[in-house]
């Protein structure tokens, strides 16, 4: 599997703003259209929702380019990037000229197109429906509350953290965690004995439990499943390359 990473760096100390803006503007306007015509590419830094498709392309063994755009800077407002994603968000996928945004949509597309033979996409309509179900479910029932816990325990400055929001959202999460735990009772993975993109999509959200120090001892099936998913070599490769 080949990997190409393009990064846009913060300006060196002492460099005039106008010089940096001119250089980075030219670089983005020149590179983004060029890269869009090359191999599959994923726009977004690893420490973002772009990690979901980055993990998946490692599972699929695909050649790809990562354009490491940081959501904390101005790169997402560059006109060349806005032509790809007018929402000014990451991730964005470009696959042979086809442009797609939203991390779950990207993963469902990649798995459907490239993952059938690898077992990452089911070969029957019932399995497909369950894959959509779990992918939509984790975004609607888990992501918002779990991200709030992570923000108020680890990411926000101390003076902006709200322990009451942490407590309230941890209470909210018990219900969906119970649903997932019950679904995994007696099975290694969501669709049965084999890891699939359904597991990857859900685990990519539940992975925030680790930095947020969310304890899962009350949900042993979920806890064991999450450990199996996060221990996969492709996930480690995407995170640590």
Cα gap 76→199, rounded to integer Å: 29
Q: What is the pLDDT of residue 226?
A: 99
pTM of the model as a whole: 0.84
In the sheet with 98-101, reading across from the earlier edge strand, the strands are 3-7, 64-68, 41-43, 92-95, 98-101
> What b/e readout covers 222-236, taking b as 16+ CB neighbours within 10 angstroms?
bbebbeebbebebbe
Taken in order of first residue, the domains within the chain and their CATH numbers are 3-114 (3.40.30.10), 125-240 (1.20.1050.10)
* Count of Cβ atoms closer than 10 Å to residue 123 Cβ: 9
The whole-number pLDDT of residue 240 equals 83
Give pLDDT tens digits for 207-224: 999 999 999 999 999 999
Measured in residues, the chain has a length of 241
From residue 79, give the alpha-carbon distance in Å to each of 6, 24, 158.
18, 12, 35
What 8-state DSSP symbol labels residue 32?
H
Q: 148: phi > 0 → left, psi -120 to 50 → alpha, else beta; which?
A: alpha
- Could you list the beta-strand ranges (E) of the chain: 3-7, 41-43, 64-68, 92-95, 98-101
Q: Mind listing the pLDDT tens digit for each residue in 80-122? A: 999 999 999 999 999 999 999 999 999 999 999 999 999 999 9
pLDDT (tens place) for every residue of the chain, 241 residues total: 555 555 544 445 565 655 555 555 655 555 555 544 558 999 999 999 999 999 999 999 999 999 999 988 888 999 999 999 999 999 999 999 999 999 999 999 999 999 999 999 999 999 999 999 999 999 999 999 999 999 999 999 999 999 999 999 999 999 999 999 999 999 999 999 999 999 999 999 999 999 999 999 999 999 999 999 999 999 999 998 6
């Amino acid at each position: 599997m080949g990997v190409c990473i393009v990064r846009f760096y913060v300006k060196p100390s002492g460099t005039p703003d106008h010089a940096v803006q001119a250089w980075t503007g030219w670089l983005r306007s020149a590179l983004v259209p060029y890269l869009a015509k090359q191999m599959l590419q994923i726009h977004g830094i690893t420490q973002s929702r772009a990690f979901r498709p980055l993990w998946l392309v490692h599972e699929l063994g695909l050649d790809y380019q990562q354009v490491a755009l940081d959501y904390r800077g101005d790169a997402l407002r560059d006109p060349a990037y806005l032509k790809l994603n007018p929402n000014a968000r990451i991730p964005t996928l470009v696959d042979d000229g086809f442009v797609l945004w939203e991390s779950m949509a990207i993963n469902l597309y990649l798995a459907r197109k490239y993952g059938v033979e690898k077992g990452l996409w089911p070969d029957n309509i019932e399995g497909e429906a369950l894959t959509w179900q779990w992918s939509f479910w984790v975004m609607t029932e888990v992501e918002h509350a779990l991200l709030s816990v992570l923000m108020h325990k680890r990411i926000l400055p101390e003076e902006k953290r709200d322990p009451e929001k942490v407590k309230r959202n941890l209470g909210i999460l018990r219900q969906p965690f119970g649903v997932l735990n019950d679904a995994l009772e007696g099975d290694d993975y969501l669709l049965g004995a084999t890891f699939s993109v359904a597991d990857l999509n859900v685990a990519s959200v539940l992975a925030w439990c680790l930095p947020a120090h969310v304890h899962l001892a009350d949900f042993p099936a979920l806890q064991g499943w999450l450990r199996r998913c996060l221990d996969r070599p492709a996930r480690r490769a995407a995170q640590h390359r």
